[in-house]
Structure 1
């Protein structure tokens, strides 16, 4: 049996799950003299995440990082399911899917590195940024043309919402 293409899976997506470092950030950190680690997140990714939340999609973050500022930023976008310090991401995924009774086939997961692979193998639509590790690219049904932290989350959210006629359906199409 031939597997579905990512475009055939997008209409079935109800849930977005993202890693943080290397997906919502470019994977780099600035280390201040006091040891604080600072990351940069893309505003366009933030807009798309908030739009997905506002449209009623399930949005979850599963990350090995533990930065409280990252959690605060994501909460500010309306995301309530944030798993930080997740070193075995499959455990958090299983818990999340169980809590909300979500079928893994309806989940788009975007990861960029080796710890994401076990989760990606379970989800219906495994995706990654353009600069993801080769092993992650190999198992991804869709590879964004955007790098991590440079709009890759916006890319996949926008595509799913457009396929489902939910991207900007609240705006008037006339801009002039």
Structure 2
């Protein structure tokens, strides 16, 4: 697959694919977080999310591109984050991401080619190898990096999701409109 590592130098293929995204799907651990798991004394898992990623997801939604989350972990924290961001489609505790994708597509009435996915590890390959726009974070596993259309410059939990949201907004001609309310 043709890919680029720097947003400004995204391949023509990556931009064309991003322009066709009608649903953007994100993994969570290692993508919306840095992949670290912080355990409290009572065994609870804490996660750190990036506010830049959150605003990027909201801007993408406001431009008409809904978002979804598919993750192997299950946690009330993930439900809270999805709720805070207005993400209606959250699939937790999913180890067969291919079946979760099929279920999601049935719910929203789209085909794989109209979806984008941002992942980082082998468990994401069943989706990354099927969607129209496949992206991976900078620190992704080597096998994943070799199979995507776009590789972010930013790492997971450090603005990678925002980079993808901005790229899609640019590719679809919606970036300036998304930016306008902040400039007036």
Q: Is TM > 0.5 for Structure 1 vs Structure 2?
A: yes
Q: CA shift at 1:139, angstroms? A: 0.4
Q: CA shift at 1:90, angstroms? A: 0.6
CA distance in 1, matches of 2:153, 2:120: 13
RMSD after superposition:
1.9
Q: CA shift at 1:56, angstroms? A: 2.1
CA distance in 2, matches of 1:138, 1:170: 31
CA distance in 1, matches of 2:131, 2:24: 10
Q: What whole-Å deviation, never above 9, does each CA across 1:69-128 have from its counterpart, x for those lacking one?
A: 121111111101000001101111001111211121111101100100011111011100
Tell me, yes or no, if structure 1 residue 12 matches structure 2 residue 17.
no
Q: CA shift at 1:162, angstroms? A: 1.5
Residue matched to 2:32 = 24
- Match for 2:67 among 59, 67, 72? 59
Tell me, yes or no, if structure 1 residue 43 matches structure 2 residue 48.
no
CA distance in 2, matches of 1:21, 1:48: 17
Query: Contact 2:63/2:178 (CA < 8 Å) preserved in 1?
Result: no
Which structure carries more relative contact order (alpha carbon 8 Å, separation 6+)? 2
Change (3 A) 1:173 1:132: same
Equivalent residues, number: 174
Residue matched to 1:122 = 130
1:8 is paired with a residue whose SS is: helix
Structure 2: 5+ residue runs without aligned partners?
3-11
Q: CA shift at 1:58, angstroms? A: 2.1
The structure whose residues are more often helix, as a share, is: 2
Structure 1: 5+ residue runs without aligned partners?
none
